[in-house]
Amino acid sequence: MSKIRQVLRMYDQGRSKQFIALHLNVARNTVKKYLAAYDAGGFSFKEINALNDKELEDFFGKARERERGPSQRMQSLLRCFPHVDKELKRTGMTRKILWEAYKTEFPDGYAYTQFCDYYVSWKGRVNPTMHLDHKVGDKLFVDFAGEKLSYIDKETGEEIAVEVFVAILAASQLTYVEAVHSQQKEDFITGCENTMHYIGGVPQALVPDNLKAAVTKSNRYEPTLNETFLDFANHYGTTVLPARAYRPRDKALVEGAVKIMYRRLYVPIRQKTFFSLKALNIAIREILDEHNNQPMKGRNYSRRMQFEEIERETLDPLPVQRYEFKKIFHATVMKNSHVCLGPDKHYYSVPIRLIGKKIKILYSGSTVEIFSNYDRVAVHKRSKTPYQHSTQQEHLAHTHRYSNERTPEKFLEEAAAYGEDVRLYIVKILERKQHPEQIRKSCEGILSLGKKAGAERLTNACRKAMDYGVYTYKNIQSILENNMDSYKESSIFADELPMPAHDNIRGEEYYK
Protein backbone atom coordinates (compact mmCIF):
# COMPACT_ATOMS: atom_id res chain seq x y z
CA MET A 1 0.00 0.00 0.00
CA SER A 2 2.93 2.33 0.68
CA LYS A 3 4.23 1.88 -2.89
CA ILE A 4 0.74 2.53 -4.30
CA ARG A 5 0.63 5.83 -2.41
CA GLN A 6 4.03 6.74 -3.91
CA VAL A 7 2.76 5.94 -7.39
CA LEU A 8 -0.27 8.15 -6.93
CA ARG A 9 1.75 10.98 -5.34
CA MET A 10 4.23 11.08 -8.22
CA TYR A 11 1.39 10.88 -10.73
CA ASP A 12 -0.33 13.79 -8.99
CA GLN A 13 2.95 15.74 -9.27
CA GLY A 14 2.86 15.30 -13.06
CA ARG A 15 5.45 12.53 -13.45
CA SER A 16 5.15 10.22 -16.44
CA LYS A 17 4.23 6.55 -16.11
CA GLN A 18 7.64 5.45 -17.43
CA PHE A 19 9.43 7.70 -14.93
CA ILE A 20 7.32 6.34 -12.07
CA ALA A 21 8.00 2.74 -13.14
CA LEU A 22 11.76 3.28 -13.38
CA HIS A 23 12.03 5.32 -10.21
CA LEU A 24 9.97 2.94 -8.03
CA ASN A 25 11.20 -0.25 -9.74
CA VAL A 26 7.65 -1.32 -10.64
CA ALA A 27 6.49 -2.85 -13.92
CA ARG A 28 5.07 -0.22 -16.25
CA ASN A 29 1.88 -2.26 -16.91
CA THR A 30 1.29 -2.48 -13.14
CA VAL A 31 1.61 1.32 -12.90
CA LYS A 32 -0.86 1.66 -15.78
CA LYS A 33 -3.45 -0.58 -14.01
CA TYR A 34 -3.28 1.33 -10.73
CA LEU A 35 -3.47 4.71 -12.47
CA ALA A 36 -6.38 3.52 -14.62
CA ALA A 37 -8.28 2.51 -11.48
CA TYR A 38 -7.38 5.83 -9.88
CA ASP A 39 -8.67 7.81 -12.87
CA ALA A 40 -11.86 5.71 -13.06
CA GLY A 41 -12.61 6.31 -9.40
CA GLY A 42 -12.97 10.06 -9.83
CA PHE A 43 -11.29 10.89 -6.50
CA SER A 44 -8.53 13.36 -5.80
CA PHE A 45 -5.13 12.31 -4.44
CA LYS A 46 -5.94 13.88 -1.05
CA GLU A 47 -9.15 11.81 -0.76
CA ILE A 48 -7.37 8.59 -1.75
CA ASN A 49 -4.41 9.28 0.52
CA ALA A 50 -6.76 9.85 3.48
CA LEU A 51 -7.87 6.21 3.27
CA ASN A 52 -6.25 3.68 5.58
CA ASP A 53 -4.42 0.65 4.17
CA LYS A 54 -7.45 -1.66 4.38
CA GLU A 55 -9.74 0.84 2.64
CA LEU A 56 -7.10 1.49 -0.01
CA GLU A 57 -6.71 -2.24 -0.61
CA ASP A 58 -10.47 -2.68 -0.94
CA PHE A 59 -10.63 0.23 -3.40
CA PHE A 60 -8.05 -1.17 -5.79
CA GLY A 61 -9.11 -4.79 -5.20
CA LYS A 62 -12.69 -4.05 -6.26
CA ALA A 63 -11.37 -2.13 -9.20
CA ARG A 64 -9.32 -5.13 -10.36
CA GLU A 65 -12.30 -7.42 -9.77
CA ARG A 66 -14.54 -5.20 -11.82
CA GLU A 67 -11.88 -5.17 -14.50
CA ARG A 68 -11.31 -8.86 -14.89
CA GLY A 69 -14.49 -10.37 -13.28
CA PRO A 70 -14.68 -13.79 -11.56
CA SER A 71 -12.73 -16.63 -13.10
CA GLN A 72 -14.35 -19.56 -14.82
CA ARG A 73 -13.38 -21.85 -11.94
CA MET A 74 -14.99 -19.52 -9.40
CA GLN A 75 -18.17 -19.25 -11.48
CA SER A 76 -18.46 -23.03 -11.50
CA LEU A 77 -18.01 -23.18 -7.75
CA LEU A 78 -20.60 -20.47 -7.10
CA ARG A 79 -23.14 -22.34 -9.22
CA CYS A 80 -22.65 -25.41 -7.00
CA PHE A 81 -23.30 -23.65 -3.68
CA PRO A 82 -27.16 -23.56 -3.79
CA HIS A 83 -27.14 -27.33 -4.31
CA VAL A 84 -24.53 -27.75 -1.55
CA ASP A 85 -26.61 -25.66 0.85
CA LYS A 86 -29.69 -27.76 0.14
CA GLU A 87 -27.91 -31.11 0.48
CA LEU A 88 -26.30 -30.16 3.82
CA LYS A 89 -29.78 -30.17 5.36
CA ARG A 90 -30.04 -33.91 4.82
CA THR A 91 -29.34 -36.23 7.75
CA GLY A 92 -25.72 -37.36 7.85
CA MET A 93 -24.59 -35.20 4.90
CA THR A 94 -21.22 -33.41 5.30
CA ARG A 95 -19.18 -30.84 3.39
CA LYS A 96 -16.50 -33.46 2.80
CA ILE A 97 -18.90 -35.68 0.86
CA LEU A 98 -20.16 -32.76 -1.23
CA TRP A 99 -16.63 -31.56 -1.95
CA GLU A 100 -15.68 -35.00 -3.23
CA ALA A 101 -18.69 -34.91 -5.58
CA TYR A 102 -17.63 -31.41 -6.71
CA LYS A 103 -14.06 -32.59 -7.45
CA THR A 104 -15.42 -35.52 -9.45
CA GLU A 105 -17.31 -33.09 -11.70
CA PHE A 106 -14.58 -30.40 -11.71
CA PRO A 107 -11.16 -32.10 -11.36
CA ASP A 108 -9.34 -28.75 -11.55
CA GLY A 109 -11.59 -27.24 -8.89
CA TYR A 110 -10.63 -25.81 -5.53
CA ALA A 111 -9.15 -27.80 -2.65
CA TYR A 112 -11.31 -28.76 0.35
CA THR A 113 -10.15 -25.88 2.57
CA GLN A 114 -10.82 -23.25 -0.11
CA PHE A 115 -14.14 -24.93 -0.91
CA CYS A 116 -15.26 -24.55 2.73
CA ASP A 117 -13.97 -20.96 3.02
CA TYR A 118 -15.75 -19.83 -0.14
CA TYR A 119 -18.94 -21.61 0.94
CA VAL A 120 -18.96 -19.86 4.34
CA SER A 121 -18.37 -16.53 2.61
CA TRP A 122 -21.19 -17.22 0.12
CA LYS A 123 -23.51 -18.36 2.89
CA GLY A 124 -22.84 -15.19 4.87
CA ARG A 125 -23.73 -12.99 1.89
CA VAL A 126 -26.82 -14.94 0.88
CA ASN A 127 -28.24 -15.55 4.37
CA PRO A 128 -26.29 -13.67 7.05
CA THR A 129 -26.45 -14.75 10.71
CA MET A 130 -25.46 -13.14 13.99
CA HIS A 131 -22.84 -14.70 16.23
CA LEU A 132 -23.85 -15.00 19.90
CA ASP A 133 -21.47 -15.13 22.83
CA HIS A 134 -23.11 -17.23 25.53
CA LYS A 135 -22.57 -16.59 29.23
CA VAL A 136 -21.48 -19.45 31.46
CA GLY A 137 -24.33 -21.11 33.37
CA ASP A 138 -26.90 -19.15 31.41
CA LYS A 139 -28.77 -21.39 28.94
CA LEU A 140 -29.43 -25.07 28.35
CA PHE A 141 -30.75 -25.78 24.84
CA VAL A 142 -33.01 -28.86 24.53
CA ASP A 143 -34.57 -30.58 21.52
CA PHE A 144 -35.54 -33.92 20.01
CA ALA A 145 -33.58 -35.41 17.12
CA GLY A 146 -35.49 -35.90 13.88
CA GLU A 147 -34.25 -39.49 13.42
CA LYS A 148 -35.34 -42.20 15.87
CA LEU A 149 -33.51 -45.17 17.37
CA SER A 150 -35.07 -48.51 18.30
CA TYR A 151 -34.81 -51.66 20.39
CA ILE A 152 -36.35 -55.15 20.15
CA ASP A 153 -39.06 -56.37 22.54
CA LYS A 154 -37.88 -59.76 23.79
CA GLU A 155 -41.38 -61.17 24.29
CA THR A 156 -42.94 -60.16 20.97
CA GLY A 157 -39.88 -59.59 18.79
CA GLU A 158 -41.34 -56.25 17.76
CA GLU A 159 -39.04 -53.36 16.93
CA ILE A 160 -39.98 -50.38 19.11
CA ALA A 161 -38.98 -46.94 17.84
CA VAL A 162 -37.93 -44.38 20.46
CA GLU A 163 -37.27 -40.64 20.43
CA VAL A 164 -33.81 -39.21 21.11
CA PHE A 165 -33.61 -36.26 23.53
CA VAL A 166 -30.60 -33.96 23.10
CA ALA A 167 -29.46 -31.09 25.35
CA ILE A 168 -26.37 -28.86 25.30
CA LEU A 169 -24.98 -26.17 27.60
CA ALA A 170 -24.40 -22.98 25.65
CA ALA A 171 -21.00 -21.89 27.02
CA SER A 172 -19.07 -25.16 27.45
CA GLN A 173 -21.11 -27.17 24.87
CA LEU A 174 -21.32 -30.13 27.28
CA THR A 175 -23.86 -32.45 25.66
CA TYR A 176 -26.46 -34.87 27.04
CA VAL A 177 -28.37 -37.53 25.05
CA GLU A 178 -31.08 -39.94 26.19
CA ALA A 179 -33.58 -42.21 24.45
CA VAL A 180 -37.20 -41.86 25.62
CA HIS A 181 -40.46 -43.45 24.53
CA SER A 182 -42.17 -40.31 23.20
CA GLN A 183 -42.16 -36.52 22.99
CA GLN A 184 -45.00 -36.27 25.50
CA LYS A 185 -44.76 -34.08 28.62
CA GLU A 186 -43.66 -36.81 31.00
CA ASP A 187 -40.80 -38.03 28.80
CA PHE A 188 -39.75 -34.49 27.86
CA ILE A 189 -39.64 -33.37 31.51
CA THR A 190 -37.77 -36.55 32.45
CA GLY A 191 -35.15 -35.77 29.80
CA CYS A 192 -34.71 -32.19 31.06
CA GLU A 193 -34.48 -33.36 34.67
CA ASN A 194 -31.95 -36.10 33.89
CA THR A 195 -29.87 -33.53 32.00
CA MET A 196 -29.61 -31.26 35.04
CA HIS A 197 -28.62 -34.19 37.24
CA TYR A 198 -26.03 -35.23 34.62
CA ILE A 199 -24.40 -31.79 34.63
CA GLY A 200 -24.85 -31.48 38.41
CA GLY A 201 -26.63 -28.12 38.50
CA VAL A 202 -29.41 -25.86 37.23
CA PRO A 203 -28.86 -23.26 34.45
CA GLN A 204 -30.55 -19.87 34.45
CA ALA A 205 -32.84 -20.75 31.54
CA LEU A 206 -34.11 -23.66 29.44
CA VAL A 207 -34.49 -23.05 25.70
CA PRO A 208 -36.87 -25.60 24.14
CA ASP A 209 -38.50 -25.77 20.76
CA ASN A 210 -42.21 -24.94 20.36
CA LEU A 211 -43.33 -28.53 20.94
CA LYS A 212 -46.64 -29.04 22.79
CA ALA A 213 -44.92 -30.51 25.83
CA ALA A 214 -43.32 -27.11 26.49
CA VAL A 215 -45.46 -24.46 24.74
CA THR A 216 -49.24 -24.45 24.58
CA LYS A 217 -49.49 -21.42 22.28
CA SER A 218 -46.51 -19.93 20.50
CA ASN A 219 -45.94 -16.17 20.35
CA ARG A 220 -42.97 -14.11 19.24
CA TYR A 221 -42.83 -12.18 22.52
CA GLU A 222 -44.79 -14.00 25.26
CA PRO A 223 -45.62 -17.63 24.40
CA THR A 224 -48.05 -19.53 26.61
CA LEU A 225 -46.12 -22.25 28.43
CA ASN A 226 -47.44 -25.68 29.28
CA GLU A 227 -48.56 -25.58 32.94
CA THR A 228 -46.83 -28.81 33.88
CA PHE A 229 -43.54 -27.80 32.27
CA LEU A 230 -43.74 -24.37 33.95
CA ASP A 231 -44.35 -26.08 37.30
CA PHE A 232 -41.27 -28.22 36.65
CA ALA A 233 -39.18 -25.11 35.88
CA ASN A 234 -40.42 -23.44 39.07
CA HIS A 235 -39.48 -26.53 41.09
CA TYR A 236 -35.90 -26.27 39.81
CA GLY A 237 -35.80 -22.47 40.04
CA THR A 238 -35.10 -21.81 36.36
CA THR A 239 -36.75 -19.91 33.50
CA VAL A 240 -38.19 -21.13 30.19
CA LEU A 241 -37.27 -19.13 27.06
CA PRO A 242 -38.82 -20.90 24.05
CA ALA A 243 -37.21 -20.35 20.67
CA ARG A 244 -39.24 -18.57 18.01
CA ALA A 245 -41.42 -20.81 15.91
CA TYR A 246 -39.77 -21.93 12.66
CA ARG A 247 -36.48 -20.28 13.69
CA PRO A 248 -33.98 -23.13 14.17
CA ARG A 249 -31.14 -20.61 14.38
CA ASP A 250 -32.47 -19.51 17.77
CA LYS A 251 -31.22 -22.86 19.01
CA ALA A 252 -28.41 -23.46 16.54
CA LEU A 253 -26.21 -25.07 19.20
CA VAL A 254 -28.57 -27.96 19.85
CA GLU A 255 -29.28 -28.31 16.12
CA GLY A 256 -25.53 -28.67 15.61
CA ALA A 257 -25.32 -31.15 18.50
CA VAL A 258 -28.02 -33.27 16.84
CA LYS A 259 -26.02 -33.36 13.58
CA ILE A 260 -22.88 -34.39 15.47
CA MET A 261 -24.82 -37.18 17.21
CA TYR A 262 -26.00 -38.48 13.83
CA ARG A 263 -22.36 -39.11 12.90
CA ARG A 264 -20.83 -40.09 16.22
CA LEU A 265 -23.68 -41.88 17.99
CA TYR A 266 -26.27 -43.15 15.50
CA VAL A 267 -23.82 -45.08 13.33
CA PRO A 268 -22.31 -47.28 16.10
CA ILE A 269 -25.67 -47.66 17.89
CA ARG A 270 -27.44 -48.93 14.77
CA GLN A 271 -24.76 -51.58 14.29
CA LYS A 272 -25.89 -53.29 17.51
CA THR A 273 -29.13 -54.86 18.76
CA PHE A 274 -30.70 -53.89 22.09
CA PHE A 275 -33.56 -55.56 23.93
CA SER A 276 -34.61 -52.81 26.32
CA LEU A 277 -34.66 -49.05 26.59
CA LYS A 278 -32.33 -49.27 29.59
CA ALA A 279 -29.71 -51.20 27.63
CA LEU A 280 -29.98 -48.71 24.77
CA ASN A 281 -29.40 -45.77 27.13
CA ILE A 282 -26.38 -47.48 28.71
CA ALA A 283 -24.76 -47.74 25.28
CA ILE A 284 -25.68 -44.12 24.51
CA ARG A 285 -24.09 -42.96 27.76
CA GLU A 286 -20.78 -44.67 26.91
CA ILE A 287 -20.57 -42.96 23.50
CA LEU A 288 -21.75 -39.67 25.03
CA ASP A 289 -18.99 -39.67 27.65
CA GLU A 290 -16.44 -40.38 24.94
CA HIS A 291 -17.81 -37.47 22.90
CA ASN A 292 -17.67 -35.03 25.83
CA ASN A 293 -14.12 -36.10 26.71
CA GLN A 294 -12.83 -35.90 23.14
CA PRO A 295 -10.78 -32.74 22.30
CA MET A 296 -12.80 -30.22 20.30
CA LYS A 297 -11.77 -29.51 16.70
CA GLY A 298 -8.87 -27.04 16.57
CA ARG A 299 -8.58 -26.87 20.35
CA ASN A 300 -6.49 -28.64 22.96
CA TYR A 301 -9.33 -29.19 25.44
CA SER A 302 -12.61 -31.13 25.52
CA ARG A 303 -16.17 -30.14 26.31
CA ARG A 304 -15.90 -31.81 29.72
CA MET A 305 -12.67 -29.97 30.57
CA GLN A 306 -14.18 -26.66 29.51
CA PHE A 307 -17.32 -27.35 31.58
CA GLU A 308 -15.38 -28.26 34.73
CA GLU A 309 -13.16 -25.22 34.38
CA ILE A 310 -15.56 -22.40 33.58
CA GLU A 311 -19.18 -23.48 33.95
CA ARG A 312 -19.81 -25.99 36.74
CA GLU A 313 -19.44 -23.47 39.56
CA THR A 314 -21.83 -21.01 37.90
CA LEU A 315 -24.78 -23.43 37.92
CA ASP A 316 -27.38 -23.18 40.68
CA PRO A 317 -27.57 -26.16 43.07
CA LEU A 318 -30.08 -28.95 42.48
CA PRO A 319 -33.14 -29.10 44.80
CA VAL A 320 -33.20 -31.76 47.52
CA GLN A 321 -36.08 -33.70 45.95
CA ARG A 322 -36.71 -34.58 42.33
CA TYR A 323 -39.77 -33.19 40.59
CA GLU A 324 -42.94 -35.24 40.84
CA PHE A 325 -44.74 -35.28 37.53
CA LYS A 326 -48.26 -33.92 37.96
CA LYS A 327 -51.37 -34.45 35.90
CA ILE A 328 -54.42 -32.19 35.65
CA PHE A 329 -58.06 -33.10 36.25
CA HIS A 330 -61.08 -30.78 36.31
CA ALA A 331 -64.15 -31.45 38.46
CA THR A 332 -67.14 -29.83 40.19
CA VAL A 333 -67.49 -29.71 44.00
CA MET A 334 -70.40 -31.86 45.20
CA LYS A 335 -72.95 -30.89 47.88
CA ASN A 336 -71.02 -32.79 50.55
CA SER A 337 -68.03 -30.49 49.83
CA HIS A 338 -66.00 -33.27 48.19
CA VAL A 339 -64.61 -33.67 44.67
CA CYS A 340 -64.02 -36.92 42.83
CA LEU A 341 -60.63 -37.60 41.24
CA GLY A 342 -61.82 -39.53 38.20
CA PRO A 343 -58.80 -41.79 37.51
CA ASP A 344 -58.89 -43.17 41.09
CA LYS A 345 -62.63 -42.71 41.82
CA HIS A 346 -61.60 -41.36 45.22
CA TYR A 347 -63.19 -38.35 46.94
CA TYR A 348 -61.31 -35.44 48.55
CA SER A 349 -62.72 -32.67 50.73
CA VAL A 350 -62.55 -28.95 49.91
CA PRO A 351 -63.82 -25.89 51.87
CA ILE A 352 -67.62 -25.80 52.03
CA ARG A 353 -67.75 -22.37 50.37
CA LEU A 354 -66.74 -24.00 47.05
CA ILE A 355 -69.83 -26.23 46.72
CA GLY A 356 -70.96 -26.18 43.09
CA LYS A 357 -67.76 -24.48 41.86
CA LYS A 358 -65.47 -25.69 39.08
CA ILE A 359 -62.01 -26.57 40.42
CA LYS A 360 -58.70 -27.87 39.02
CA ILE A 361 -56.85 -30.84 40.52
CA LEU A 362 -53.09 -31.33 40.15
CA TYR A 363 -52.15 -34.82 41.25
CA SER A 364 -48.88 -36.73 41.42
CA GLY A 365 -47.98 -40.17 42.71
CA SER A 366 -48.14 -39.03 46.34
CA THR A 367 -50.13 -35.80 46.63
CA VAL A 368 -53.36 -34.22 45.41
CA GLU A 369 -53.52 -30.40 45.16
CA ILE A 370 -56.84 -28.65 44.55
CA PHE A 371 -57.00 -25.14 43.04
CA SER A 372 -59.79 -22.60 42.65
CA ASN A 373 -59.03 -19.48 40.59
CA TYR A 374 -55.27 -20.13 40.89
CA ASP A 375 -55.51 -20.39 44.72
CA ARG A 376 -54.58 -23.70 46.31
CA VAL A 377 -57.51 -24.51 48.61
CA ALA A 378 -56.64 -28.06 49.71
CA VAL A 379 -53.77 -30.55 49.79
CA HIS A 380 -54.33 -34.27 50.42
CA LYS A 381 -52.22 -37.38 50.46
CA ARG A 382 -53.18 -39.37 47.40
CA SER A 383 -55.23 -42.51 47.97
CA LYS A 384 -56.10 -44.92 45.18
CA THR A 385 -58.84 -46.73 47.13
CA PRO A 386 -62.00 -46.30 45.03
CA TYR A 387 -65.25 -44.92 46.45
CA GLN A 388 -63.67 -43.79 49.73
CA HIS A 389 -63.40 -40.29 51.20
CA SER A 390 -60.36 -38.33 52.37
CA THR A 391 -61.74 -35.60 54.63
CA GLN A 392 -60.15 -32.71 56.49
CA GLN A 393 -62.29 -31.46 59.40
CA GLU A 394 -61.71 -27.77 58.68
CA HIS A 395 -63.39 -28.21 55.28
CA LEU A 396 -66.74 -29.32 56.73
CA ALA A 397 -69.70 -27.29 57.98
CA HIS A 398 -69.77 -26.61 61.74
CA THR A 399 -72.51 -29.17 62.44
CA HIS A 400 -70.80 -31.85 60.37
CA ARG A 401 -67.48 -31.07 61.95
CA TYR A 402 -69.00 -31.51 65.44
CA SER A 403 -70.36 -34.95 64.55
CA ASN A 404 -67.05 -36.13 63.13
CA GLU A 405 -65.17 -34.89 66.18
CA ARG A 406 -67.22 -37.07 68.59
CA THR A 407 -64.71 -39.91 68.73
CA PRO A 408 -64.02 -42.32 71.64
CA GLU A 409 -60.80 -40.49 72.37
CA LYS A 410 -62.68 -37.19 72.56
CA PHE A 411 -65.29 -38.67 74.97
CA LEU A 412 -62.59 -40.05 77.26
CA GLU A 413 -60.77 -36.71 77.25
CA GLU A 414 -63.93 -34.82 78.28
CA ALA A 415 -64.85 -37.43 80.91
CA ALA A 416 -61.40 -37.24 82.50
CA ALA A 417 -61.94 -33.51 83.00
CA TYR A 418 -64.85 -34.34 85.37
CA GLY A 419 -63.03 -37.07 87.30
CA GLU A 420 -61.62 -40.57 87.21
CA ASP A 421 -64.98 -42.21 88.08
CA VAL A 422 -66.65 -40.52 85.12
CA ARG A 423 -63.84 -41.66 82.80
CA LEU A 424 -64.13 -45.26 84.00
CA TYR A 425 -67.89 -45.16 83.49
CA ILE A 426 -67.43 -43.95 79.88
CA VAL A 427 -64.89 -46.73 79.32
CA LYS A 428 -67.52 -49.28 80.37
CA ILE A 429 -70.05 -47.79 77.94
CA LEU A 430 -67.55 -47.83 75.07
CA GLU A 431 -66.88 -51.52 75.76
CA ARG A 432 -70.54 -52.44 75.36
CA LYS A 433 -71.55 -54.32 72.22
CA GLN A 434 -73.86 -51.71 70.76
CA HIS A 435 -74.16 -49.81 67.54
CA PRO A 436 -71.53 -47.04 67.38
CA GLU A 437 -74.26 -44.43 66.96
CA GLN A 438 -76.00 -45.58 70.14
CA ILE A 439 -72.73 -45.53 72.07
CA ARG A 440 -72.06 -42.01 70.84
CA LYS A 441 -75.47 -40.79 71.98
CA SER A 442 -75.07 -42.39 75.43
CA CYS A 443 -71.68 -40.74 75.96
CA GLU A 444 -72.96 -37.38 74.81
CA GLY A 445 -75.96 -37.62 77.14
CA ILE A 446 -73.87 -38.48 80.20
CA LEU A 447 -71.34 -35.75 79.59
CA SER A 448 -74.12 -33.21 79.02
CA LEU A 449 -75.45 -33.97 82.54
CA GLY A 450 -72.17 -32.71 83.96
CA LYS A 451 -72.93 -29.22 82.67
CA LYS A 452 -76.21 -29.19 84.63
CA ALA A 453 -75.31 -31.06 87.82
CA GLY A 454 -71.63 -30.15 88.07
CA ALA A 455 -68.50 -32.26 88.23
CA GLU A 456 -68.87 -33.44 91.85
CA ARG A 457 -72.44 -34.70 91.55
CA LEU A 458 -71.71 -36.41 88.20
CA THR A 459 -68.69 -38.13 89.73
CA ASN A 460 -70.74 -39.40 92.70
CA ALA A 461 -73.51 -40.58 90.38
CA CYS A 462 -71.08 -42.52 88.20
CA ARG A 463 -69.49 -44.12 91.27
CA LYS A 464 -72.90 -45.28 92.58
CA ALA A 465 -73.98 -46.49 89.11
CA MET A 466 -70.85 -48.63 88.90
CA ASP A 467 -71.78 -50.14 92.28
CA TYR A 468 -75.09 -51.15 90.75
CA GLY A 469 -73.30 -52.46 87.62
CA VAL A 470 -75.67 -50.64 85.28
CA TYR A 471 -74.08 -48.56 82.50
CA THR A 472 -76.71 -46.41 80.81
CA TYR A 473 -77.50 -42.75 80.43
CA LYS A 474 -80.92 -43.22 82.07
CA ASN A 475 -79.33 -44.75 85.17
CA ILE A 476 -77.14 -41.66 85.72
CA GLN A 477 -80.08 -39.35 85.00
CA SER A 478 -82.29 -41.16 87.55
CA ILE A 479 -79.63 -41.00 90.27
CA LEU A 480 -79.20 -37.25 89.75
CA GLU A 481 -82.94 -36.53 89.63
CA ASN A 482 -83.57 -38.42 92.90
CA ASN A 483 -80.55 -36.87 94.62
CA MET A 484 -79.28 -40.38 95.25
CA ASP A 485 -75.74 -39.24 94.47
CA SER A 486 -75.64 -37.60 97.97
CA TYR A 487 -75.41 -41.06 99.56
CA LYS A 488 -71.94 -41.65 101.01
CA GLU A 489 -70.79 -45.16 101.77
CA SER A 490 -68.46 -43.96 104.49
CA SER A 491 -67.39 -45.72 107.70
CA ILE A 492 -69.40 -43.19 109.80
CA PHE A 493 -72.71 -44.25 108.22
CA ALA A 494 -71.80 -47.92 108.43
CA ASP A 495 -70.91 -47.79 112.19
CA GLU A 496 -73.58 -45.43 113.60
CA LEU A 497 -76.74 -46.19 111.63
CA PRO A 498 -78.64 -49.51 111.95
CA MET A 499 -79.65 -51.48 108.90
CA PRO A 500 -83.30 -51.19 107.76
CA ALA A 501 -85.78 -53.48 109.54
CA HIS A 502 -87.69 -54.35 106.43
CA ASP A 503 -86.07 -55.68 103.31
CA ASN A 504 -88.56 -53.83 101.10
CA ILE A 505 -87.22 -50.48 102.32
CA ARG A 506 -84.36 -49.26 100.21
CA GLY A 507 -81.15 -48.22 101.93
CA GLU A 508 -81.34 -44.74 100.44
CA GLU A 509 -84.76 -44.05 102.01
CA TYR A 510 -83.56 -45.40 105.37
CA TYR A 511 -80.60 -43.06 105.44
CA LYS A 512 -82.79 -40.14 104.44
pLDDT band at 501 (very low <50, low <70, confident <90, very high): very low
- Report yes or no: 162 and 181 within 8 Å, Cβ to Cβ: yes
Strands 239-240, 205-207: pairing kind: parallel
The C-alpha angle 78, 81, 87, rounded to 5 degrees, equals 165
Residue 369 CB-density burial (10 A; 0-12 exposed, 13-18 middle, 19+ buried): middle
Residue 212: the pLDDT is: 81
Mean pLDDT of 226-237: 87
Lowest-confidence region among 25-34, 84-93, 201-210: 84-93
Residue 499: the pLDDT is: 41
In percent, how much of the chain has pLDDT > 90?
Answer: 19
The pair phi, psi for residue 508, each rounded to 5°, is -65, -45
- Residue 311's alpha-carbon distances to 117, 141, 172, 190, 202, in angstroms, are 31, 15, 7, 23, 11
The number of angstroms, rounded, from the C-alpha of 235 to the middle of its chain's C-alpha atoms is 7
pLDDT band at 477 (very low <50, low <70, confident <90, very high): confident
Identify the sign of the CA torsion 299, 305, 309, 315.
positive
pLDDT band at 11 (very low <50, low <70, confident <90, very high): confident
Taking the C-alpha atoms of residue 87 and residue 177, their distance in angstroms, rounded to an integer, is 25
More confident residue, 272 or 483: 272
Taking the C-alpha atoms of residue 50 and residue 57, their distance in angstroms, rounded to an integer, is 13
Say which DSSP state 248 is in: G
Mean pLDDT of 334-339: 86
- Report yes or no: 137 and 174 within 8 Å, Cβ to Cβ: no
Which of 20-30 are b and which e, b meaning 16 or more Cβ less than 10 Å from the residue's Cβ? bbeeeebeeee
pLDDT at 106 over 50: yes
Residue 7: how many CB atoms within 10 A of its CB? 21
Residue 507: the pLDDT is: 45
Residue 13: how many CB atoms within 10 A of its CB? 9
Residue 10: the pLDDT is: 84
Mean pLDDT of 262-291: 91
H or E stretch covering 176: strand 175-180
Identify the sign of the CA torsion 318, 321, 322, 326.
negative
Q: What value does the mean pLDDT of the chain take? A: 80
Mean pLDDT of 55-80: 67
Tens of pLDDT, residue by residue over 141-192, are: 999 988 899 999 888 889 999 999 999 998 888 999 999 999 888 899 999 9
Longest distance between any two alpha carbons in the chain, whole Å: 168
- Report yes or no: 99 and 115 within 8 Å, Cβ to Cβ: yes
pLDDT at 505 over 50: no
Identify the sign of the CA torsion 438, 441, 445, 451.
positive
Identify the sign of the CA torsion 429, 435, 438, 444.
positive
